[in-house]
Structure 1
Amino acid sequence: MTTRTIAVVSGGLSQPSSTRMLADRLARAATAVLAERGVAAEVVTIELRDLAHGITDALLTGFPTGELRSALETVTGADGVIAVTPVFMTSYSGLFKSFVDIIDKDALREVPVLIGATGGTPRHSLATEYAMRPLFAYLHADVVGTAVFAATEDWAGQGDDVNPLPARIERAGRELAEKVATRPARAAATDEFDAVPDFADLLGR
């Protein structure tokens, strides 16, 4: 059985968060389809709330370090990416955008990406299309056709006739899995910061 790596980026700020819940469900949907095709999936989830200070430092210095650097290596080396953000003021969160800003503009070229978002009201449902999709299109990622938005009320409904969220999650997961399964596994991403010294070491910690 071949193996593919799926990097899951969750931009939720609370714990637990509906953003993480949606990210997990999308990952399960994708891995289930990969298993049907005889492909094992290694899922690595990245909680941006845990990297907030490192993201700010990287924006100020231009050099990601520690756990943030490892997270970037995971995302840029993955065979597929699931990216989910809460919606604030009609768009992705500042933390989510700041993390994406640190990613090299060519690191996700042609990488399959599934986008999702959560919000308090369905009025924000198009944020995946007018905010997130152009963002990943700029990075030349291969964004799957189905994006998933989950409003607060969507978590309460049961059955496709009442709530289309489960079916949409399954469809989006299948689209991502099919793209990932039909491509060769990616080689390990090169780290553009390998030649940069660790400033903590230079300062003698």
Structure 2
Amino acid sequence: MTTLKLVAVSAGLSVPSSTRLLADRLTQSVRGGLGEQDVDVQVRVVELRELAVPIANNLVTGFPAPALAEAVESVTEADGLIAVTPVFAASYSGLFKSFFDLIEPDALTGKPVLIAATGGTARHSLVLEHALRPLFAHLRALVVPTAVYAASEDWGGTGDALTDTLPQRIERAGGELAGLMTGSVGAGVMTGAHVPAARIA
């Protein structure tokens, strides 16, 4: 059985964190999509909160601490990447951006990436298209079509199929990333295709 490397980068600041929760849900979805294709997956979660001081030190000294160097290496060597950030001032967090500033410009070229974000209200969902997607396009990564935004209200389902779409959006995005990681893009895109278009996500 083929084994692929999946890395999830979470920029959540609290414990527990809705950003980490979303990263975990997306990871499970990708793992499930790969399992359907008889592909095993090795998962690594990079918690940027734990690397905040090393990231700041690296920015001013140019020398990464061992834990930070290992985290950067895991991202650059991954077969697929999940990048999740909380929304700050209508954009990704400074911690999130500072981490990706440390990655060599060509290191993510062609790498399949799933982008996601969390925030207090659905009004910030366009941060995915206005900030995250351009960032990874600049890095020449291969970003999946479905980006996932989770507002606070998304974690408390109402039972309404037209509004409770977070699980389906996670499934669809995870399927797309799994498809890109294995080259079977069609299967990934079809996953979750029935999701109502109730929100840009």
TM-score, with normalisation over the residues of structure 1?
Answer: 0.87
Alignment match, 1:181: 182
Q: 2: CA distance between counterparts of 1:20 and 1:45?
A: 9
CA distance in structure 1 between the partners assigned to 2:169 and 2:86 by the alignment: 18
Greater shift in the superposed pair: 118-127 or 62-71: 62-71
Question: What is the distance in 2 between the residues matched to 1:110 and 1:64?
Answer: 25
Aligned residue in 2 for 1:202: none
| Counterpart AA for 1:178 | G
Taking the TM superposition and a 5 Å limit, the aligned residue runs for 1:118-133 are 118-133=118-133
In structure 1, what residue type is equivalent to 2:136? F
Distance in 2, Cα, partners of 1:148 & 1:63: 34
Larger CA deviation: 14-23 vs 60-69: 60-69
Task: Give the residue type in structure 1 aligned to 2:171.
Answer: E
Matched, 1:155 2:155: yes
Shift of 1:158: 4.7
Q: How does 1:77-88 map to 2 (within 5 A)?
A: 77-88=77-88
Map of 1:170 onto structure 2 = 171
Name the CA distance, whole Å, in 2 between partners of 1:82 and 1:18. 15
1:136 is aligned to: 136
| 1:98 aligned partner, one-letter code | S
State which drifts further: 52-61 or 62-71: 62-71
Identity of aligned residues (%): 58
Q: Counterpart of 1:84 in 2: which secondary structure?
A: strand
CA distance in 2, matches of 1:18, 1:154: 11
Higher relative contact order (CA 8 A, sep 6+): 1
TM-score, length basis structure 2: 0.89
Q: Distance in 2 between matches of 1:153 and 1:39?
A: 34
What per-residue deviation string (whole Å, max 9, x for no partner) do you get for residues 107-139 of structure 1?
000000000000001010000110000000000
CA deviation vs aligned residue, 1:20-48 (integer Å, no higher than 9, x gap): 00000000000101000010011100000
Q: Does 1:3 align with 2:9?
A: no
Q: Distance in 1 between matches of 2:174 and 2:162?
A: 20
CA distance in 2, matches of 1:80, 1:58: 25
Which structure 1 residue ranges, 4+ long, deviate > 4 Å from structure 2? none
Kindly provide the CA deviation profile for residues 126-160 of structure 1, in whole angstroms up to 9, marking residues without a partner as x: 00110000000000000000000000000001543
What is residue 187 of structure 2 aligned with on the other side? Answer: none
Counterpart CA distance in 1 for 2:23 and 2:125 is 16
C-alpha separation in 1, matches of 2:141 and 2:158: 33
Q: CA deviation at 1:61?
A: 1.1
Supply the RMSD in Å over aligned alpha carbons: 1.0
Deviation at 1:161, TM superposition (A): 3.2
Partner residue in 1 for 2:27 = 27
Counting matched residue pairs gives 183
Rg larger in 1 or in 2? 1
Distance 1:33 1:61 in 2: 41
